[in-house]
Structure 1
Amino acid sequence: MTTDEPRELRYVYAVCHPLGAPLQAELTGVTGAPPRQLEHRGLVAVVGSVPERDFAEESLRAHLEDLDWLTETARAHQNVIAALTTVTSPLPLRLATVFRDDSGVRLMMEQEERRFRAGLDRLAGRVEWGVKVYVEEPETPARDPAPAVAPSSGRDYLRRRRAERTTRDDTWRRAERFAQELHDELSRHAAHTRVHPPQNPELSRASGMNVLNAAYLVERSGAEEFVERVDATKDREPDLRVELTGPWAGYSFTADDEEGET
């Protein structure tokens, strides 16, 4: 091998137990490279080869500021995790988890063995579902520049504004109560739950204000019933929107402190 031959690093997607079924033959991951299995001490790391020029520390730091590159890499990463989820319950690793060679991956598996085994036990036979509740706020008066009846006095104007604030406050109270009741109900049918901070509407580009952003780790055998429970709530409140996503690998439940629950 010549010294100017490009060096390849090891990109690690997930750790799992030995697979009971093969992955798709045509499956590709980051940079288009097919993933392979690296077994060590009864665990399997699913890895791919990536060029050092893009994934060495300094280059990677720069790439993570490139939204297009980040989106493409995240999509390829998720492609492999999704394929793994069809045949096992993987423990996903962070995006762009990279080591210099197979030996580095094996050393990581030894050092993290206890955590990996605990995480795999927690995820075994389960998938993650995400549930979000949004308040669809009524249009503000600014959208209606010519009200049907103009206020006849300052007192009428203040009364109207007070009524608008009361309506908004009532909507928020109802939304919070609905979100808590929904979360309590779904939690009874999940092995673990995690409540995330509300999504920033500017970043998520979702309409409305997010009042519940939760993840539920559910037995595969109970997934259909869980979906039906969520679907049954979607028309319960006219100003609220319920969104369900999944099933996913247990991204929200990979850490030991999954008791970030309510």
Structure 2
Amino acid sequence: MTELLYLYGMIQSKEVEDAPLPSFKGFDNEHEGKSIQIGEITAVVSRLDPNSYSEDQIKQKVNQMEWLHEKAFHHHEILMMLNKNYTLIPTKFCTIYSSLDSLQQTIKSKKSKIIELLQSLKGKQEWNMKIYCDDNQLRDSFRKNNPKIAAKREEISELPPGRQYFEKRKLNQLIDRELEMEKNRICEQIHEELKAFCIDSSIKKTWDKDVLGRKEQMCWNSVYLLTADHLQSFMDKVRKTSHSIIDAGWKMEPTGPWPAYHFASLIDNEG
């Protein structure tokens, strides 16, 4: 049985000619990573023993958290290294080909799309923006500054004590509804303003506090594709916006540059 090939990503062959691929240990931590030139496209791969990395074995291993964490981190680190040195189309974790012929056929069948995408990604950077809020701090600020809430509180204060209890419960429900609407409005507004500096953008799902292990709630999660010459303006806008909303309980956390995970999907996980 022929050796399997683990595919990290694809880069332009010309870029590899100008800057040879740095040495690195492959996915199994035994074989060396290497480049395989397929015309104008170079695939970055490492060899795998089919006796240890069959499809069934991979399915079992991804359920082992220690193994999954170690290998996912390795995959990410190699992509970060490649992204620093080349224009890169990153592939998904555990993209494995059964043979060199299978890999070559896949790349050749998508050659024009791959080349077009590599050219479009040249000089671009992917950045992630997560927006968090402290609900308690935001709720306090909201109670004080929202005209609708202030008017309702004034109205309740003039009611008999017996009715005030029930109306205050209704008021808290109103605050919760208005707060969620306000959080969405602010995040959407920030997103629209940041899009002005970008080639492309995408909104991702948010994560629960239990997953994050922090007291703030993630309200927004988005990614942006930027040209290098727009990065400074983008970050200036982030700093200015972050400063203007921090006292109300908001935190903006930009990270990057990342491999173009969200703007360069072409190849399935397995071939």
TM-score by length of 2: 0.79
Higher helix share: 2
* Correspondence for 2:66: 68
Determine helix, strand or coil for the equivalent of 2:174.
Answer: helix
Selected match of 1:14 from 9, 14, 19? 9
The residue identity in structure 2 corresponding to 1:15 is M
8 Å CA contact retained: 2:89, 2:265: no
The residue identity in structure 1 corresponding to 2:130 is K
**Residues 194-233 of structure 1 mapped to structure 2, 5 A cutoff:** 194-233=202-241
Moved more, 66-75 or 109-118: 109-118
Distance 2:99 2:49 in 1: 12
**Residues 172-191 of structure 1 mapped to structure 2, 5 A cutoff:** 172-191=180-199
Measure how far apart 1:153 and its partner are.
5.6
* Correspondence for 1:164: 172
8 Å CA contact retained: 1:175, 1:240: no
In the alignment, does 2:127 pair up with 1:129? Answer: yes
8 Å CA contact retained: 2:4, 2:50: yes
* Correspondence for 1:30: 27
- Closer/same/farther in 2, CA of residues 153 and 8 from structure 1, 3 Å limit: farther
Cα RMSD after superposing both structures: 2.4
The residue identity in structure 1 corresponding to 2:6 is Y
Distance 2:220 2:104 in 1: 39
Determine helix, strand or coil for the equivalent of 2:43.
Answer: strand
TM-score by length of 1: 0.82
In the alignment, does 2:87 pair up with 1:89? Answer: yes
Determine helix, strand or coil for the equivalent of 2:226.
Answer: strand
* Correspondence for 1:146: none
8 Å CA contact retained: 2:135, 2:249: yes
Q: Structure 2: any 5+ residue segments left out of the alignment?
A: 140-159, 267-271
8 Å CA contact retained: 2:127, 2:224: yes
Determine helix, strand or coil for the equivalent of 2:136.
Answer: coil
- Closer/same/farther in 2, CA of residues 155 and 57 from structure 1, 3 Å limit: same
Distance 1:208 1:80 in 2: 31
Distance 1:218 1:127 in 2: 5
